[in-house]
């Protein structure tokens, strides 16, 4: 004869089964991390994203008790490195140091990317924001304000050029935003990185650039380049006398790249929480804040939920800039 369980016996058995299923996952999360963690920087070594990633990895290594090793996988405005992380095992041992490019720009500007969509990542923590600065070589472009630059560009009518470290970067799109907002006829000159773009600006080969503050700052402080405006919402402590683009007559002109930690979709919540705590603890430290500020960056501390919401808003922001500029998907 079949044996029937009472309701109480059934519920007890179900609870024991659920506990048995959950125990391996809980044990794995409790043991995390048991080996080194890889933090993928989707750009070449030496840029501001790479520098900030290495600062963050040091603090996270101390908190987690395992090395957090930076690996550079460059290409396609960060899409190659981002796609590899999206396709990696979702165990918390492969992370992405994402940017505005990888998470908010690429999907609007490029087609047929191997990168998965925004929903295919777990958003862990945002740690920095790095604005751009509009700089000129006064010997080539003798202006002292954004207003004078706009007047000069209109008088020249066509051919004024601006550089960038590559198509799809926040530097490129900041130039496109000025072009559409001021209705200018500008020529984009893409380079393979910030160094050659700044070299040509100093050499008089291009007229201006909206460069990330980190690589441009030494040239501004050394007097080789003139800073006309910053693209942050407020003035920067390192350049207190340089106005914002908002102050310069463009009230909606706020652009910046940013850096945050992401993991492949499906990474266990307990593992995400552990990485989030380590990242935010590092980002809140005096040492990290001081070093990021010295680069011209702004330390940020957004947790998983806030970072996800921030990225969704940034995606809409950059999508609007791309559409207003009339840029075609490439």
256 by Cβ neighbours in 10 Å (0-12 / 13-18 / 19+) ranks as buried
What 3-state class would DSSP assign to 135? strand
List every span in the chain annotated with CATH 3.40.190.150: 29-130+256-324
Name the nearest CA neighbour of 168 among 82, 238, 105. Answer: 105
Domain 29-130+256-324 has CATH 3.40.190.150: yes
List every span in the chain annotated with CATH 3.40.190.10: 131-230
pLDDT 10s digits, 150-205: 999 999 887 899 999 888 899 999 999 999 999 999 999 999 888 899 999 999 99
Q: Running DSSP on this structure, what letter comes out for residue 243?
A: P
4 pLDDT above the threshold of 70: no
pLDDT 10s digits, 270-329: 999 999 999 999 999 999 999 999 988 989 999 999 999 999 999 999 999 988 888 877
Name the CATH architecture for the domain at 131-230.
3-Layer(aba) Sandwich (3.40)
Residues 6+ apart with CB under 8 A from 321: 173, 176, 177, 255
pLDDT 10s digits, 212-261: 999 999 999 999 999 999 999 999 999 999 999 999 999 999 999 999 99
Whole-structure pTM value: 0.85
Sign of CA dihedral 207, 213, 215, 218: positive
| Cis check: omega of the bond before 33, within 30 degrees of 0 | yes
């Amino acid at each position: 004869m079949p044996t029937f369980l009472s309701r109480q016996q059934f519920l007890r058995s179900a609870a024991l089964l659920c506990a048995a299923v959950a125990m391996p996952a809980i044990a794995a999360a409790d043991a995390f991390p048991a080996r080194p963690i890889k933090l993928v920087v989707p750009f070449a070594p030496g840029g501001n994203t790479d520098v900030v990633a290495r600062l963050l990895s040091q603090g996270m290594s101390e908190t987690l008790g395992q090395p957090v090793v930076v690996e550079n996988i460059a290409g396609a405005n960060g899409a190659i490195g981002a796609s590899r992380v999206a396709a990696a095992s979702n165990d918390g041992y492969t992370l992405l140091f994402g940017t505005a490019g990888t998470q908010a720009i690429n999907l609007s500007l490029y087609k047929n990317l191997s990168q998965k969509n925004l929903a295919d990542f777990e958003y862990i923590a945002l740690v920095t924001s790095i604005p751009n600065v509009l700089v000129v070589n006064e010997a080539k472009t003798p202006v002292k304000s954004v207003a004078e630059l706009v007047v000069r560009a209109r008088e020249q009518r066509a051919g004024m050029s601006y550089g960038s470290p590559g198509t799809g970067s926040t530097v490129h799109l900041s130039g496109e935003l000025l072009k559409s907002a001021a209705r200018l006829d500008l020529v984009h000159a893409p380079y393979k990185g910030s160094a050659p773009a700044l070299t040509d600006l100093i050499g008089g080969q291009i007229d201006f650039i909206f460069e990330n503050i980190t690589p441009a700052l030494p040239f501004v402080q050394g007097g080789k380049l003139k800073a006309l405006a910053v693209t942050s919402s407020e003035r920067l402590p390192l350049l207190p006398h340089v106005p914002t683009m908002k102050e310069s007559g463009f009230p909606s002109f706020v652009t910046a790249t940013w850096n945050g930690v992401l993991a492949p979709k499906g990474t266990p919540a307990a593992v995400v929480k552990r990485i989030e705590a380590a990242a935010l603890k590092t980002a809140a430290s005096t040492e990290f804040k001081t070093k990021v500020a010295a680069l011209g960056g702004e330390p940020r501390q957004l947790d998983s939920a806030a970072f996800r919401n921030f990225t969704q808003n940034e995606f809409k922001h950059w999508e609007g800039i791309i559409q207003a500029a009339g840029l075609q998907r490439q």
